[in-house]
Structure 1
Amino acid sequence: MPTSDQRQRSREAGMGRFRDRGMVTAELAVSILAALALLSLLSWGIGLIVLQLRCGDTAAEVARQAARGDEAGIARAKRDAPDGSVIMIDKSGDTTIVTVRLEARPMSALVPAVPLTASAEVVTEPGESG
């Protein structure tokens, strides 16, 4: 049979458990928020990679069309560029260099804009001048 000391300790232990009630809920809420923040940053990173690839594709296509002297092709390729990108074409000598620059704006004002740049250099076709 438990003594009064043992019963007192048992009651205090039970009260300690009562005070900890809801602790798992709070930890779960914090964990979910942290997971959502991580997911948001990962999706932003993947979006940056996609934008960088689009800039590279645009630079390559514009460079090919500029090296051929195809103005209509250049206009079509520029339409496929990411919104807000700046395309510079430099024909010097026998090469055509195209640079695409873009300031990638994040979903939140807390994350700074990321500058993206892609370049392509092709040999200008004979008969085309800079």
Structure 2
Amino acid sequence: MSTEARRDAGMVTAELAVAIPVVVFVLLICLAGLSAAIDQVRCVDAARAGSRAAARGDPLAEVHQLAQRAAPEGAVISVSRRGGDALVTVRARAGGWGGVVPTWTVTAAGRTPVEQAGR
């Protein structure tokens, strides 16, 4: 093997040493984005379930518990009534693994008309 061929082989090793961490970082960002998308879907499901329970007239504690079961871990849930609607908002933080990848706040709201007794 010539001297030039050996030097080229060393360059490939150096290039790989730089490229592999970049590829791993991009993969982490993609996984964090996927995790945020999954958490968004879970927030939507929790908001819908909570607003349906609130519209039925379930106790506030039950509404919170139902929404909390469907929501991502650490989600903040708020329940209110506006006009004739029950409104449940679910907010959670996604991503941010080890401070290396970005953090997103995902939010979903469910609004359901309040059921009237005797209908």
What interval of TM-score do these two structures reach, taking the shorter chain for normalisation?
Answer: 0.7 to 0.9
Shift of 1:18: 4.2
Q: Percent identity?
A: 39
1:108-127 equivalences in 2 (<5 Å): 108-127=98-117
The 5 Å alignment of 1:72-87 reads: 74=63, 75-87=65-77
TM-score normalised by length of structure 1: 0.76
In structure 2, list runs of 5 or more residues that go unmatched: none
After TM superposition, which residue ranges in structure 1, 4 or more long, deviate above 6 angstroms?
Answer: none
Q: Which structure 1 segments of 5+ residues have no match?
A: 1-13
Give RMSD over aligned pairs. 1.9
Question: Which one of 52, 58, 63 corresponds to residue 46 of structure 2?
Answer: 58
What are the within-5 Å matches in structure 2 for residues 33-52 of structure 1?
33-52=21-40
Structure of greater relative contact order (alpha carbons < 8 Å, 6+ residues apart)? 2
Structure 2 residue aligned with 1:70, among 48, 58, 65?
58
Whether the aligned pair in 1 keeps the contact of 2:87 and 2:112 (CA below 8 Å) is yes
Alignment of structure 1 residues 16-35 onto 2, 5 Å: 16-35=4-23
CA contact (8 A) 2:79 2:88 kept: yes
Q: Any idea what SS the aligned residue of 1:108 has?
A: helix
Q: 1:86 & 1:22 partners in 2: Cα distance?
A: 53
Distance 1:76 1:21 in 2: 60
Secondary structure of the residue aligned to 1:36 is helix
Q: CA 1:20–1:27 in 2, change beyond 3 Å: closer, same or farther?
A: same
Q: Could you tell me which residue of structure 1 aligns to residue 94 of structure 2?
A: 104
